[in-house]
Structure 1
Amino acid sequence: MTEPDGGWVALFSGGKESSWALCQALEANCDVRRLVIVHPPKGSHAYHAPATSVARLAAQSIGIPVVNVGLPAVDIEPPDIKMDIAPELETRDETEIEPLESALRTLDAELDGGLNGVIAGTVDSEYRADRLRSMCDDIGCDFFAPLWQADPRELLETMIDAGLEIVIIEVTAPGFDKSWLGRRLDRDALADLETLHRERGINLLGEGGEFDTIVIDGPHMSHSIALEFEREWYGTWGRVRITDARLEVFT
């Protein structure tokens, strides 16, 4: 009897990079069998995830089962726009990798044919890519980062033109204000981000933690997500608090 082919899993936050990486993997005919969603511990600011419920709705719309990975609490304060955020991001990756590897080893044992590989939306973090690649090597599976080293502007244009509906849900850097919360990342918003990039050094993708996003519709989804939310602004940073989220079902 022929052994079944293994399956892929995608690291999925519901944000623009993980969503587009998943789109690229599906287009490349990867057999994606699970979406892995990492959840922060209750009350933790280290992995602030105001929209994990939206990520689960997106997974439902995509039609791929979810695996939840919980993280231990870590002592990191709320966003401080004066600090160098790179060390904080590395601390987050270190906190994530052990429970993530454990979950992937479990999937490797459970999936028919085992785990072929892991899909991630990392773009330019050498540290994160190296950690994930090393983890995959230890497990004995492939690592696929289809967005790796992409030009940020071209990548955003491609996402927008492909039909990703991207919503900004948190901003933590100088130059942003309350009006950015809940804003669609379209061509006009991209032009404004380019101005912030020139004047303030903002990374166009928010790779330095300057802003976070969720995707509420796209070519990988069968139904869009309708959101209701309130804006929370703290003088130098802010986030949306989602009060309701549901799949749009048209009859």
Structure 2
Amino acid sequence: MKRVAVSHSGGKDSMLALYHMLNKNDVIVDRLIATIDENNRRTSVHETKESLMSLQADALGLPLQKIYIPSTPSNDEYNERMYDGLRKAEQDGVTHIVYGDINLADVRAFRESQLKNLQLDAIFPLWQQSTTILINEFLSLGFETWITTIDPNRVPNDFLGARLDHETLQALPDSIDPCGENGEFHTLVVDGPLFHQSLPVQLSNTVIEGAFYTYHDVQLKDSST
């Protein structure tokens, strides 16, 4: 029996990888693992707040292990923090780390290199599958997802904050991978078949991060309204 931890961003690819693992008879999903910027308390790239990651994990009914990373770590710092976090999972009985990567070979090699000094194996359940097939599978399962991050050089600003559905996919420029596999966009999943309850969240202001990424902030709904 494999005891796995799912590397989790809160977005669609890691959610689909989690779905696949939860539907295997020889797998126990032990936890989610998220890397958090220890200064701004957000996930890297996706920029999802730590509090929302915790809320999402609660809604999924799974423990969330957080690995805190400095905003601008050296390679040694980053590797040390990741090793310590993954080592903790290993000591707790985890045997495999699950990743939602699809077709970026350099990213896969990097993931695998992080495990080389540990008794942990990597699982890539979505690896080299058609991104069109994967996104259609994901949407057909009924997950509710928002596009919260875009590369404005490749994705028109109108898609920032859009619900990711078949209509949105049809409207995306042809040059955009339907899963955003080349970093064109990132997402936050707020409801779906794995959730015990939907996340009570709303989009707020748009924020520009440097020259490349723009994201809609996501926060808890005001319970008084």
* Alignment TM-score > 0.5, same fold: yes
Q: Structure 1 14/246 Cα, relative in aligned 2: closer, same or farther at 3 Å?
A: farther
Q: Which residue of 1 aligns with 2:162?
A: 183
Question: What's the CA shift for 1:44?
Answer: 9.3
- Whether the 8 Å contact between 1:7 and 1:33 is mirrored in structure 2 is yes
SS class of match (1:32): strand
Q: Structure 1 51/167 Cα, relative in aligned 2: closer, same or farther at 3 Å?
A: farther
Q: Which residue of 2 aligns with 1:86?
A: none
Q: Which residue of 1 aligns with 2:115?
A: 136
**Counterpart code for 1:14:** G
**Counterpart code for 1:70:** Y
Q: Deviations over 1:99-144 (max 9, x none)?
A: 22211112222x2xx2211111111111121122233342122211
Question: What's the CA shift for 1:177?
Answer: 3.5
Q: Structure 1 68/245 Cα, relative in aligned 2: closer, same or farther at 3 Å?
A: farther
Question: What's the CA shift for 1:7?
Answer: 2.4
Question: How far, CA to CA, are the matches of 2:76 and 2:163 in structure 1?
Answer: 31
Q: Which residue of 1 aligns with 2:103?
A: 124
- Where structure 1 has 5 or more consecutive residues not aligned to the other structure, the ranges are 76-90
SS class of match (1:221): coil
Q: Map 1:54-133 onto structure 2 (within 5 A).
A: 54-74=52-72, 96-109=78-91, 111=92, 114-133=93-112
Q: Which residue of 1 aligns with 2:147?
A: 168
- Where structure 2 has 5 or more consecutive residues not aligned to the other structure, the ranges are none
Question: How far, CA to CA, are the matches of 1:69 and 1:37 in structure 2?
Answer: 6
Q: Which residue of 1 aligns with 2:196?
A: 222
Q: Structure 1 74/20 Cα, relative in aligned 2: closer, same or farther at 3 Å?
A: same
Q: Deviations over 1:73-92 (max 9, x none)?
A: 218xxxxxxxxxxxxxxx9x
Q: Which residue of 1 aligns with 2:36?
A: 39
Q: Structure 1 length normalisation: TM-score?
A: 0.77
**Counterpart code for 1:227:** V
Q: Structure 1 119/95 Cα, relative in aligned 2: closer, same or farther at 3 Å?
A: farther
> Aligned pair 1:212/2:186, yes or no?
yes
Q: Deviations over 1:19-63 (max 9, x none)?
A: 110110111132111111110242599924134332221110111
Question: How far, CA to CA, are the matches of 1:212 and 1:24 in structure 2?
Answer: 20
Q: Structure 1 209/26 Cα, relative in aligned 2: closer, same or farther at 3 Å?
A: same
**Counterpart code for 1:184:** R
**Counterpart code for 2:70:** P
- Work out the number of aligned pairs and report it: 219
> Aligned pair 1:20/2:16, yes or no?
yes
SS class of match (1:115): coil
- Whether the 8 Å contact between 1:12 and 1:19 is mirrored in structure 2 is yes
Question: What's the CA shift for 1:94?
Answer: 8.4
Q: Which has the larger radius of gyration?
A: 1
Higher helix share: 1
**Counterpart code for 1:216:** V
Q: Structure 1 204/51 Cα, relative in aligned 2: closer, same or farther at 3 Å?
A: farther
**Counterpart code for 1:61:** A
Question: What's the CA shift for 1:95?
Answer: 6.9
SS class of match (1:36): strand
- Whether the 8 Å contact between 1:44 and 1:73 is mirrored in structure 2 is no
